[in-house]
Structure 1
């Protein structure tokens, strides 16, 4: 968007206008001042009186912080979230902390530039406690009605604040809520309705850079896995005030409309088609069928034959799959579309090269009838991707499992790993009922995959309990991955030893620690206390991986200090 000025009367914009109105001034704290703060953070009115708040101005490099509150009256009563963010920003500025792709992507292609790091040093931080008048923290004599009104206007302006931000950070270290004693982490952050609204406003912005940095600890920061937001609809979010749901959904709908309109005129065409196709699924609405003419017009194809024979990343087949349009799938098949089309060019949206249209239907949570239609039209249920993973591995529901098994899908020993990590316990139960044995995987255990990818899975503990009840071995050691040769392993160990965990990419870290690791080791690596406790309760031994790293060492290396008392108590 173009330069804009936040004032009490709204947004006065030059250039492209924002779709969200700024009803209250955007206030932020200088990074240099923020890094000097200690202990329990002060509220908006105190910082304003101290002259530490600055109103947004054109050219300000703004860092938006999205987080969960750790008590009902104060976001961070012990200053623990703030301490993590301070250390993280210091690491970004001095170059000691690298931000890499998420664990699923495992590439080293995406990182922060040196120019961005320089900008962070002179940037400003937006945190709701700092920036918004708080009724819970008002000073004596302050008019409550005025404070409440300003606070409401500021909350309504949050989508505009997100649009004005240059960087978006999800601050999600594993901590405990002071009042409820419930765990607060990445998966619970993803469940919150307003956190989802902030996230959607960022990702659906028309900015060139809409990346989201997820901060798990002082030394663990990664770019968000693309499917995490698509799998967490605002419609299904948790709202403290139920009336907020309608407002948040309305804001999200405006953001999607704006995104589609921007992509229609500015491109790329593949992304325009993707968001048009997936729109109803994002809002959990029933799929609406289109007549052939409307389909061709909406997705910019001249003829049905063009849509069927197109080889681009979002051809007619993929538009129909993401739309859940079974009638169009049949028409495209009649026009000789390839029902085993392999994806390409959609990796940044979470759909990776060599995966099939059937896999895309499953990953996007399409209804069973879409899978049935694809298989009826000759989609191969056992065609693997380039990693050797079949479609069954990517099941997202028990219904997906049933459809594929009814059509004779193979059940390799490792097939439980995917649903354990990405799907619900019901999905895993469907495979277990078909006599898939969690103890037969010679490479690892589904507990390994679940533990490593547990951060975004709010039902990870429930799934782990189910697997343990089905005789999954809590002490299974992972074999060296097939794509990790001995020289790669030793090279990765050397890099980690020399450069440190926080500097190395996730791919390097996993190459260094995966051989011989236990599920407990992975749970310690990602800082998941509930899983660590569950595994220990079921007889997990604190043994080292092939490189000699104990679970306690992995927790310490990644600054998950809250796990050390638990792991050291049970260490052998």
Structure 2
């Protein structure tokens, strides 16, 4: 139906965008989301390659090895990583050696950095990164211990824990540093540290609030939101920060060592979001603006900060369309988004889909009063949301943890099991037990599968979401569908995907999954794998085509080694996975490690039959998982 209150709002939106473009030329202070309060110190890549240990900023500065970065010098790379020591980021130099070897690999004869399997599968238009892009200009590295003051003393007269002024300025400048870097490295190899009794992995990196902050701020810069994941010297993946496993993990819900950082970062995110929205409007990217406008609540979750939804001036409600609060909220929503009709699509999404992304029950109620279709599906995958084509509004709400909106849509008779994907897939990926309970109470089927045969258990284990997995087990109860064949598939998917934590692996084995079972695909998945395998044989070498070529007879251990899920591989070996089995190409698990950089504990087990390191790593990972829970 037409909405007279919204009529002409597209021109109002465009007029405002043109006004912004004229008032805020590129490079003006107001058009930039970030400001640096401390120089951007970097080290040349060739200098980093010669380092024997990680030394502090002051020592490098004294040795004249720091360079104040300027874009005229070349390109910069921001290194996001966890500190693996109490008072030193890398006391044994384990991360440094991986970073050095990975840089040598990228700067030598590497042709491209491949997409991770999920990005390649869900967003087929995405392309690998030619490694030559890293070699076209001199490369400078920003690394916190090198680039930020470490040894300065607190201001005279204050306590030892008081802020250090230059360090504080450098930390406050991190958003600006990220914006100036052409490349973003996530340095997250498996590192075992005896002093801390911990194992650091991609899972722990993504749990840290500061690491999430760096990743999200990367999304909100004008640069492409691509991350080069460094899992070992040779295991490199190009991942979008908009990948489903990142989209539903906002910085505010990560682990803060000091909760004062949460308060400090709230206005940083507010400003970054506002400036990115204005940047999109200035470039007349109305579709991108709509997605970011309505995703603000997700970005700000966990912070004491409010989203800004009234950027476009001039809204006046139309009493003909209703005067109650919900009607006015819906009219303002349509006005701010530039929709002229309730059924209008933008970027493959309808107005109700955008409202589901925002998660405001009042707006959804108003749109329902205007007769919005509750079962209209998204027509296109949108990377910024992590939502594929074929989802309805209820599925979007369940992915983004909008529980009140879910209940409202269910009351409005939104079909629970509609869409191309199992409705429980969203909360399974988002690790949201409450959404799973809401959907199951409304008739959602735990064992509904996608076209390729994936059930909600597979989505949960693929992303390593333990709380969701436990809720799915509870909902399944003693149903016959929770049989070994389903669990076997989930174990394989966890090992091949991003869910290969020791905790997930051991829980599935506890539930009676066979740790040596192979994948039994349905007909569509067999056809899909056959196509991928043929592409591999014809010379297309990606992570997905390699998977399609090798999947036949491949055990979870083989899949974990091939996909770089080294913690999961250690857990499988610790649980007794056989090392002598071969897949359809006659490869053993050791063959998948041959020619690649894998941790010492895996080398010892796969090539020398010594599982003690895997047992130690698994025990440490499980102990820390229980502690965090």
Q: Same fold (TM over 0.5)?
A: yes
Whether the 8 Å contact between 1:97 and 1:219 is mirrored in structure 2 is no
* Residues 82/16 of structure 1: CA separation in 2 closer, same or farther (3 Å cut): farther
Whether the 8 Å contact between 1:234 and 1:252 is mirrored in structure 2 is no
Higher relative contact order (CA 8 A, sep 6+): 2
* Residues 423/126 of structure 1: CA separation in 2 closer, same or farther (3 Å cut): closer
Q: How far did 1:184 drift?
A: 1.2
Aligned-pair RMSD on alpha carbons? 3.2
Structure 1 residues not aligned, in runs of 5+: 1-12, 139-143, 497-503
Whether the 8 Å contact between 2:43 and 2:67 is mirrored in structure 1 is yes
Whether the 8 Å contact between 2:582 and 2:588 is mirrored in structure 1 is yes
Match for 2:186 among 155, 170, 187?
170
Question: Does residue 236 of structure 2 align to residue 221 of structure 1?
Answer: yes
* Residues 488/66 of structure 1: CA separation in 2 closer, same or farther (3 Å cut): closer
Whether the 8 Å contact between 1:475 and 1:540 is mirrored in structure 2 is yes
* Residues 522/78 of structure 1: CA separation in 2 closer, same or farther (3 Å cut): same
Whether the 8 Å contact between 1:72 and 1:179 is mirrored in structure 2 is no
| Corresponding residue for residue 301 of structure 1 | 339
Whether the 8 Å contact between 2:31 and 2:278 is mirrored in structure 1 is no
Question: Does residue 402 of structure 2 align to residue 366 of structure 1?
Answer: yes
Residue 231 of structure 2 aligns to a residue in which SS? Answer: strand
Question: Does residue 439 of structure 2 align to residue 404 of structure 1?
Answer: yes
Whether the 8 Å contact between 2:343 and 2:351 is mirrored in structure 1 is yes
Q: Quick one: distance in 1 between partners of 2:531 and 2:127?
A: 24
Range 315-324 or range 509-518, more displaced: 509-518
Q: How far did 1:311 drift?
A: 5.6
Q: Quick one: distance in 1 between partners of 2:267 and 2:383?
A: 26
Within a 5 Å distance, the mapping from 1:240-389 to structure 2 comes to: 240-284=257-301, 291-302=329-340, 306-310=341-345, 312-349=347-384, 350-367=386-403, 369-385=404-420, 389=421
Q: Quick one: distance in 1 between partners of 2:417 and 2:81?
A: 41
Question: Does residue 463 of structure 2 align to residue 418 of structure 1?
Answer: no
Q: How far did 1:557 drift?
A: 4.3
* Residues 41/311 of structure 1: CA separation in 2 closer, same or farther (3 Å cut): closer
| Corresponding residue for residue 315 of structure 2 | none
- TM-score, normalisation: structure 1: 0.84
Whether the 8 Å contact between 1:361 and 1:371 is mirrored in structure 2 is yes
* Residues 555/373 of structure 1: CA separation in 2 closer, same or farther (3 Å cut): farther
Question: Does residue 99 of structure 2 align to residue 122 of structure 1?
Answer: no
Q: How far did 1:230 drift?
A: 2.6
| Corresponding residue for residue 72 of structure 1 | 86
Q: How far did 1:204 drift?
A: 0.7
Residue 247 of structure 1 aligns to a residue in which SS? Answer: helix
Structure 2 residues not aligned, in runs of 5+: 1-26, 155-159, 308-325, 612-629
Match for 1:448 among 473, 492, 501?
492
Aligned pair count? 534
Whether the 8 Å contact between 1:71 and 1:178 is mirrored in structure 2 is no
Q: Quick one: distance in 2 between partners of 1:312 and 1:452?
A: 31
Match for 1:394 among 408, 426, 431?
426
| Corresponding residue for residue 512 of structure 2 | 471
Residue 34 of structure 2 aligns to a residue in which SS? Answer: coil
Residue 124 of structure 1 aligns to a residue in which SS? Answer: strand
Whether the 8 Å contact between 1:330 and 1:377 is mirrored in structure 2 is no
Q: How far did 1:126 drift?
A: 0.9
Within a 5 Å distance, the mapping from 1:515-534 to structure 2 comes to: 515-534=552-571
Q: Quick one: distance in 1 between partners of 2:440 and 2:31?
A: 51
Question: Does residue 556 of structure 2 align to residue 539 of structure 1?
Answer: no
| Corresponding residue for residue 623 of structure 2 | none
| Corresponding residue for residue 472 of structure 2 | 431
Match for 1:211 among 218, 221, 226?
226
| Corresponding residue for residue 155 of structure 1 | 171
Structure 1 segments of 4 or more deviating over 6 A? 13-16, 144-147, 285-290
Question: Does residue 606 of structure 2 align to residue 567 of structure 1?
Answer: yes
After superposition, the C-alpha distances for 1:521-556 in whole angstroms (9 at most, x for unaligned) are: 223234444433433343322222222222233234
